Structure 1
């Protein structure tokens, strides 16, 4: 968009960047279907939104053709009236449609779409016993004898005759285990781990209403919406009979003897087995329902919008698989349940967009909030945008629908943040293989939402927040796959080589991880050798994700880790505050030990130490905000909702919130968004790397005015020095155009509020 046009649209936003409005259809049994829909559309427009996502009331069951006809009528009314008003509409894949499709197929005796569970049947046997046992019904995936004491496994499939296990038990304590993919009892869910089943369900659900929907596709009907994608079976044991074939294609060997690792210990290589097994399970979500959604929508000319289940969770593997790869096609953060609860979901969704060159970072905001005060909702919206969201859909309370103030604000923010490429100096590795390796499945009678148990040393979320909320620097979360296939390193800089979102990083952060992709670590060694800076915390990797029985890859990981971080850092008998290693090319590697415990019981390195370590590298950062309120992370934002509620964070949050920012670079110049969600006004200077002519664009009012600036030199780089006055609970944009700066600039030796910390660094590192 041309600069003049963007300026005019910023003052008077149009529908193209307005937020989407969630609303609930009336019950299909209601006598008046039209009035509630017209009221919702009026509310949508009055609130400054540009489109709607309609949902059926929670718990709706479409019991007969009259109910289906009523839903068809509601979409007919909605699409007709939305078209008149110039609003867009999404077709929402409601759980009621899934239930209906499965019931319709059941009536025809067709069960191929049913969700499947991994079931383990076991029985103890005695030494010398001659077994002749009929196998259970289901798709047999593995049949083994398992010695829990030694972690030894015997593949019993060669002993199957006429669907019976015929085997003489050898010396030892053995348990026979059958692993089966079975239909989940009393379940009306589609098998979202299967691409074919997912596509078939979507096609059937869409075809129920296609006569109404088809005329509006590409004009009024623009989006296919969904929600809560994840593992929803009993104990989250969702599975598919294709698993073994997928594993064989991915890793080159049969996984059947490895199945005991899914439920516990299976020998010295259990960690390796779990990492591989759970990687394949996660891929079934990605290449099942998520890929089916993308392809189905694309073939119809629609975009997609929807979220994973609890995408903020640190231990995501248990609930949704690989939260970055599952977000690859349509990245989406989710702010639900309470103010700030969903904060951690944004950097993962945004990272997926940056890694895989997706322009939009969706955000579903305010779902299920028990309290709806205007200030908290404004602060959470600012949190979402300053961490990466640029396309929001809102569950709006009445407090925000009286006028278009809130919708206008979001339209302006999204106008500025859509497009361009993300700028940050820091990349942080997403430790997904380590997270996969910690999952243990189980069989248990449970009720309610099944949350995962977070590994005690999983610190990556805490580390993300330490860097952004305390140190004041933005970062990009880097997936191992993106690092392996889309990155290279040269001259001490790590490059993300996308067509559009090209980034370059001077610092690489390695959170605590026991297992790492060997190509990733080789790249880090080259990065370090050429002058790159690496910061690691808690535990250095000792295992390669690329498993080999001889352990050669593990040995190479250990050798590379020693070469980067030094002998002391890899010696488990040494404990201190940090280890520092460097080379003649300026490469530095800092390893920080854990020194605190978080609210959720995980270990962490204090944010203050992380900040000092980053500053010690002497990297001239993209942005300095020296007067910002620094939030010392305690792991509170990582807590699952019951804990989040118990510790009182649903009622209040220290200092009200955080100060954050994001930087996007466009062809016209640089866009900086600053968000002050704290309860304290910001009135201090800040520095932007490079020489810029700066205008301030206020998204709350639409006003634009020039900003006085001067140029200084810091750490050998030219910076634009400005004063930022940002009241509590507000945000602003700086729009910067590069200019030439004079050669002899005043030199800054320290930045005011960092001076005391810098003095400590000079003596410590």
Structure 2
């Protein structure tokens, strides 16, 4: 009784201590994480191919496998159309069925805000409510010429994805829509000069950063000199708008000389929903106009909300979020009220600068470039306020949150758009199977860290073309751990394709050539829950507290902008890891809410940074510069040179004078010093000079330059080791938690030094949920050093808590192991006859299936069961130490059963399971289920007649539910292999051994 009373007292005291209570809660949830920490999937439907039965089967398989949320989208990619038209009554009823089933199963639904994945639009969007460009035609007239002046209708800009992306009906509407805006005239200059890259600067086009050669930012306007005879004199521009008749006739007699007359009008930008189901094809809605957006949202989202019960915040499952996926709609630069909005926001009338849209120079090159900057800034503000924030407010009224992927073709600054989201999202492609979009992960995590978002999601393991069922949990662990260390704490796998085909037809439906195949038709799906348990535990812990980073990179004002940190701040290959001083990027609007405490820049979220690094550009608005001065005055350390001028025409030229005045106040009289210079301003410090302007990459000083400044302040690296180990660090009052991961395919012993001494360390193993006290550690100054061992690609959480008070012994050794027995000889192996394998066969020794002569084994894909009996040496049983079964080499996952006890799934190194409680000394009955991948069976079937999809049509036997004519075992909607493709190593390769830990 006394012992239980002590335990009860300790628990009571723990509850009275917030740090202790939180740690107690974290330990409990680490073992059994809550549903909100589970990974998600993109759940794709393919243009009318959907049934209530397949919806329920998909959702139930997600629940069983440990999937807790999904993004619902319907597209048209590589599959013949199905019978259920998008947004028909039947379609809406099926969506309602899916939402109801998701509520039943506790699975959260996120709904894309339009058909396809790109944005928001559809056939209901009228041209006048669509994304628009201001376009122009040009006519030259001469005084004294009595000929009637006819101004041609300006042509639209070609759609970014080409006219071939438009259906005939949409193309006709695109060509037909036109509204006049203005008519301006000005004297002909000696030689027409065009602004470089004006179509990009005027937001006619914005290409994707992931897949095209596109500037991550547009250079700030420089001060260049151009012959005044080549420049349009603004004072001589005449507004003739009221003198043009509807047919283009201009009732105007020009004065002396030659004149250019420009007719300006609004045209659709050619952006359509893509890749939408055919009934969902239509224009993208105007991103500047809330009236147009409301019409769209009510037509699409509203119809669905009317068919389901109202979403509830505190009820598990069902519709919980709206979603804006990667932009991919190019850009717009006009809307019906753009002139009024521009005047209200920038303080001057843009009318006489309209010729700059076409690349002409008005006033001066600098003046014209500044106008283009203002044009882009106004466009960005309209997108943020009238589109993203409006969607967010619309959802909030329905108890729905908003997730945003703010990258690729985004005409605004990525960090500015993403900061509006409740859940910011990035994307990473499976390494080797697509584009490198890891920059978007850095953007999403920066947004989340600065804004204090507990969930930072990623469209995970996207792929294309030759992926073809090659990926599996073990192959994905290293990249997944990279994403965790980068700051992602919510995987949304791309993609779970709705499996609408009969279960006998596997691997079934795909999203054309895209996506890792994360669905119930996978060979290894019955075993995937073990991997999902690992991901869920990691995600749960990585959603606690806040991330620690020392360096804050301020992004430039203006748009478009992709935040790309210094390449030197990343180590390793294309999925490179953070160095010892971590960093985040920050948008100017986010910085406006920051303050300084204890020399650190603090955000309302609690995010804290030791140093603010300015981008190496020459411009800044007075408002932002004043904020930076305020932070320095409060005690912040700022690295970077004083700006020289404003990028804008707003309040010009006084704005430039204000910049110079503020610069002198903050940087002092030596603000343009060449050598390293340090200045005090208030309680803070500014550091600048040539080393910070010239020794740069991606707009910022190189990593070592900033790292040396931190070292000089006696700030040690947050984590250091001499081995290839990645890390991230999260903290809260009373605890510090580090995630560390071996980046190599070999075991490694290393000494890790952690910048904390808050308490004694524990190792939390996310594979099995076990927590182990670490006794061997050394505390020095503000650091704790620990000798650690990680197997190939293994990871661990090292947790320090102020409630952990044990003293280091410094005597314990790293755990080693010895082999006490090898399980040799023959095995009984059973294959599934439904997939062409033999029901029972003897293997004289463990061998790769592809090395067997039997076609049913050589080309087999699926699960095979290995059975064998074995004895254990008496010393192994009586030694009192724990015993482990090590499977050696496994292709690709395995479930172990010993003497009738299910010991779980093995999917990654060290491929070892604890058998201590199940093992006998003699006559142990071992059963190992081993599963491989789909490619071998698909390759084998390529030797048989092709009876699949032809010319975009389903085969007759499938439509008529007749017997299949070929002897193929598999069926897929996309062909990744041929009969000559190399086979994939498969099976239990061993050696299988019994090990004892020492």
Q: TM-score, normalised by structure 2?
A: 0.59
* Matching of residue 177 in structure 1 with residue 278 in structure 2: no
The answer on whether the counterparts of 2:549 and 2:584 sit within 8 Å (CA) in structure 1 is yes
Does the alignment pair 1:138 with 2:220?
no
Q: Which has the higher helix share?
A: 1
1:672 — aligned with what? 738
Of 388, 394, 407 in structure 1, the residue corresponding to residue 532 of structure 2 is 407
Work out whether residues 691 and 719 of structure 1, in 8 Å CA contact, stay in contact via their aligned partners in 2.
no
Query: Secondary structure at 2:129's aligned position in 1?
Result: coil
Query: Does the 8 Å CA contact 2:777/2:787 hold for their aligned counterparts?
Result: no
Given that residues 347 and 650 in structure 2 are in contact (C-alpha distance below 8 angstroms), is that contact kept between their aligned partners in structure 1?
Answer: no
Once the 2 structures are TM-superposed, how far is the Cα of residue 348 of structure 1 from its aligned partner? 2.2
Cα distance in 2 for residues equivalent to 1:156 and 1:25: 55
Question: Deviation of residue 621 (structure 1)?
Answer: 4.6
* Greater Cα offset, 423-432 or 549-558: 549-558
Structure 1 residue 475 displacement after superposition: 2.2
Counterpart of 1:91 (choices 90, 97, 111) is 111
In 2: Cα distance, 1:179 partner to 1:135 partner: 10
- 1:579 equivalent in structure 2: 676
**Helix, strand or coil: the match of 1:620?**
coil
For structure 2, which runs of at least 5 residues remain unmatched after alignment? 1-20, 154-177, 194-229, 273-281, 496-516, 807-998
Contact 1:424/1:663 (CA < 8 Å) preserved in 2?
Answer: no
- Match of residue 252 from structure 1: 347
Asked if the contact 1:709/1:722 (under 8 Å) is kept, the reply is yes
Determine the C-alpha separation between the residues in 2 that align with 1:111 and 1:603.
40
CA distance in 2, matches of 1:186, 1:21: 27
For 2:623 and 2:452, how far apart are their aligned partners in 1?
21
Give SS of 1:472's match: coil
Structure 1 residue 215, shift from structure 2 partner? 6.2
Q: Given the alignment of the two structures, is residue 534 of structure 1 paired with residue 638 of structure 2, yes or no?
A: yes
Question: Structure 1 stretches of 5 or more lacking a match?
Answer: 311-317, 439-453, 630-657, 743-765
Alignment partner, residue 319 of structure 1: 410
Q: Deviations over 1:607-626 (max 9, x none)?
A: 444544543x4241571324
Q: Does 1:286 align with 2:384?
A: yes
Structure 1: distance between partners of 2:110 and 2:564 = 37
1:55 maps to: 73
Preserved contact between residue 21 and residue 53 of structure 1 (Cα < 8 Å): yes
Tell whether the 8 Å contact from 2:31 to 2:770 is kept in structure 1 after alignment: yes
Indicate the SS of the match to 1:395: strand
Would the alpha carbon gap of residues 54 and 426 (structure 1) be closer, same or farther in structure 2, given more than 3 Å must change?
same
Q: TM-score, normalised by structure 1?
A: 0.75
Partner residue, 1:360:
455
**Partner Cα distance (1:459, 1:44) in 2:** 36
Aligned counterparts, 1:532-681, within 5 A: 532-536=636-640, 541-545=643-647, 547-548=649-650, 550-558=652-660, 561=663, 570=672, 579-583=676-680, 587-591=685-689, 592=691, 606-615=702-711, 617-621=712-716, 623-627=718-722, 629=724, 659-665=726-732, 667=733, 669-677=735-743, 681=748
**Match 1:296 to one of 394, 411, 426:** 394
Deviation at 1:509, TM superposition (A): 0.8
Alignment partner, residue 512 of structure 1:
616
| CA-to-aligned-CA distance 1:564-613 (integer Å, 9 cap, x gap) | 66888737xx6xxx634345978351443576898xxx787554445445
Let me know the Cα RMSD of the aligned residues. 4.1
The farther-off stretch of 57-66 and 688-697 is 57-66
Match of 2:243 in 1: 161
SS of 1:214's partner is coil
Whole-Å separation in 2 of the counterparts to 1:99 and 1:191? 11
SS at match of 1:71: helix
Q: Which has the larger radius of gyration?
A: 2
Contact in 1 for aligned 2:415/2:586 (Cα 8 Å): no
**Partners of 2:643 and 2:718 in 1: how far apart?**
31
**Match in the other structure for 2:323:** 226
The structure-2 alpha-carbon separation of the partners of 1:403 and 1:374, relative to structure 1 and needing over 3 Å to count, comes to: closer
Residue 694 of structure 1 corresponds to: 761
Contact 1:595 1:606 in 2 (8 A): no
CA distance in 1, matches of 2:232, 2:751: 61
Give the SS at the match of 2:26: helix
Q: Does 1:729 align with 2:793?
A: yes
Q: CA deviation at 1:278?
A: 0.8
Are the aligned partners of 2:613 and 2:638 in contact in 1 as well (CA < 8 Å)? Answer: yes
Q: Distance in 1 between matches of 2:706 and 2:86?
A: 61
What residue number does 1:428 align with?
553
- Quick one: distance in 2 between partners of 1:472 and 1:144? 60
2:182 and 2:241 in contact (8 A); partners too? no
Which residue matches 2:978?
none
Residue 622 of structure 1 contacts residue 688 of structure 1 at CA under 8 Å; is this kept in 2? yes
Aligned pairs for 1:7-406 within 5 A: 7-25=27-45, 27-28=47-48, 33-59=51-77, 68-95=88-115, 102-104=122-124, 111-126=127-142, 132-134=149-151, 136=153, 137-140=178-181, 143=184, 145=186, 148=193, 149-150=230-231, 152-153=233-234, 154-157=236-239, 160-163=242-245, 175-184=260-269, 188-189=282-283, 190-210=285-305, 212-214=307-309, 219=315, 220-228=317-325, 230=327, 232-233=329-330, 236-237=331-332, 239-264=334-359, 265-266=361-362, 267=364, 268-310=366-408, 319-330=410-421, 331-339=423-431, 341-370=436-465, 371=467, 372-375=471-474, 377-396=476-495, 397=517, 398=522, 401=525, 402-406=527-531
Q: Partners of 1:10 and 1:568 in 2: how far apart?
A: 55
Classify 1:184/1:493 alpha carbon distance in 2 versus 1 (closer, same or farther; 3 Å). closer
Q: 1:424 deviation in Å?
A: 2.6
> Does residue 482 in structure 1 map to residue 590 in structure 2?
yes
State whether residues 492 and 587 of structure 1, in contact with CA within 8 Å, keep that contact through their aligned partners in structure 2.
no
Shift of 1:40: 2.1
Distance in 1 between residues matched to 2:238 and 2:83, nearest whole Å: 46
* Structure 2 residue matching 1:9: 3-state secondary structure: helix
Counterpart-to-counterpart distance in 1, 2:569 and 2:256: 51
Instruction: Determine if contact 1:374/1:400 at 8 Å carries over to the other structure.
Output: no
User: Which whole-Å CA distance do the structure 2 matches of 1:590 and 1:99 have between them?
Assistant: 42
What secondary structure is seen at the aligned counterpart in 2 of 1:250? Answer: helix
Deviation at 1:560, TM superposition (A): 5.0
Number of matched pairs = 660
Map Cα deviations across residues 3-56 of structure 1 (whole Å, 9 max, x no partner). Answer: 3333122112332211112222355256xx234324422442343211233332
Structure 2 equivalent of residue 6 of structure 1: 26
Taking a change above 3 Å as real, the CA distance of residues 360 and 121 of structure 1, as seen in their structure-2 partners, is farther
**In the superposition, relative to structure 1, how do residues 36 and 515 fare at CA in structure 2: closer, same or farther (>3 Å)?**
same
